[in-house]
């Protein structure tokens, strides 16, 4: 239990390499993000990559929210499951200008949700760029309901906050008792 007696909410941000997971956590966190980015040991199209997790924290309406970003590379897939344990919700990010990553995003979604029954949304990043897939088209691609896919600019705190609020709303819609049932299961950071 935290000092105020309010248990933190745990949210996980996953998705393929370069989707914007670390950026999203950095945009939202009120503390310096615990970051495990290292030089990529293979060609993944960028220099640094997350090898364990990102951890950030913010407070929403007085409730502490803990954000965990996962690695994108599937060589670290064991972390996906570990990080999703006890999570209230999952946001699977995919870069809207990289449709070649969509199959990988599907794999990650299926990997996690088949092991941990966590409510999730898909966030299509890079909505600030031209020539980017619209959330509705990505919903069609993944065979998801339109409300399960949202657009986001992960470099923007405002846009990231909106996406996070949408995720929390969808958790509530998924099962109003879900949060209550998780109480007591997740105590990370509490004292
Ligand atoms: N313009 C724009 N750039 C973005 C957005 N999201 C991420 N980026 C950029 O994309 C690059 C990769 O972002 P990261 O946050 O490192 O991606 P990641 O998902 O953490 O990647 P891994 O840890 O390697 O799996 C960075 O240069 C970000 O600034 C977005 O919504 N808009
Ligand atoms: Mg990262």
Tokens of 143: 């065979």
Residues facing 92 on adjacent strands: 14, 122
What pLDDT shows up at residue 105? Answer: 98
**pLDDT of amino acid 2:** 52
The pLDDT value given to residue 4: 57
Q: What is the mean pLDDT of the chain?
A: 90
Q: Would you kindly state where each structural domain of the chain is located, as residue ranges?
A: 9-182
Q: How far is the CA of 86 from the centre of ligand 1 (A)?
A: 26
Both tokens assigned to 159: 């846009």
Distance CA(185)–CA(75), nearest Å, equals 28
Which atom of ligand 1 lies nearest, measured to the CA of 156?
31
Spacing, Cα 3 to ligand 2 middle (Å):
30
Which residue's CA lies nearest to atom 9 of ligand 1? 20
Nearest to 98 by CA among 45, 26, 155: 45
Give the mutation target among 52, 54, 73, 154 for probing the ligand 1 site: most ligand atoms within 8 A of CB.
Answer: 154
How many angstroms is it from 180 CA to the middle of ligand 1? Answer: 33
**Ligand 1 geometric centre to CA of 32 (Å):** 17
Identify the nearest ligand to the CA of 163 by its number: 1
Tell me, what's the pLDDT at 107? 97
Work out the end-to-end distance of the chain between its first and last CA atoms, rounded to an integer number of angstroms: 6
d(CA 170, CA 59): 19
* 60-71 tens-digit pLDDT: 988 899 999 999
CATH number for 9-182: choose from 3.40.50.620, 3.40.50.300, 1.10.10.10, 3.30.1490.110: 3.40.50.300
Torsion of CA 176, 181, 185, 191, to 10 degrees: 70
Shortest-distance atom of ligand 1 to CA 50: 23
Q: Select from 14, 17, 18, 26 the residue to mutate for testing ligand 1; criterion: most ligand atoms less than 8 Å from CB.
A: 18
Q: What are the structure tokens assigned to 64, written together?
A: 């502490």
Task: Report CA-CA distances (Å) from 101 to 17, 88, 97, 108, 156.
Answer: 8, 25, 9, 11, 22
Mean pLDDT in residue range 167-176: 83
Q: Tell me what the mean pLDDT of segment 27-33 comes to.
A: 97
Q: Which range (3-7, 128-132, 136-140, 183-187) has the least confidence?
A: 183-187
């Amino acid at each position: 239990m935290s000092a105020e007696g309010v248990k933190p909410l745990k949210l996980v941000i996953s998705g393929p390499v370069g989707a914007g997971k670390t950026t999203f956590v950095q945009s939202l966190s009120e503390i310096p993000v615990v970051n495990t980015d290292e030089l990529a040991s293979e060609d993944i199209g960028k220099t640094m990559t997350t090898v364990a997790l990102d951890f950030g924290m913010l407070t929403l309406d007085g409730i502490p929210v803990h954000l965990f970003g996962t690695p994108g590379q599937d060589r670290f897939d064991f972390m996906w499951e570990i990080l999703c344990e006890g999570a209230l919700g999952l946001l699977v990010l995919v870069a809207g200008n990289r449709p070649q990553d969509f199959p990988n995003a599907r794999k990650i979604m299926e990997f996690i949700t088949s092991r941990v029954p966590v409510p999730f949304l898909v966030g299509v990043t890079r909505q600030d760029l031209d020539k980017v897939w619209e959330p509705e088209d990505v919903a069609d691609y993944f065979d998801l309901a339109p409300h399960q896919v949202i657009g986001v600019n992960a470099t923007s705190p405002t846009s990231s906050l909106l996406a996070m609020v949408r995720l929390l709303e969808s958790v509530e819609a998924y099962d109003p008792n879900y949060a209550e049932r998780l109480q007591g299961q997740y105590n990370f950071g509490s004292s």
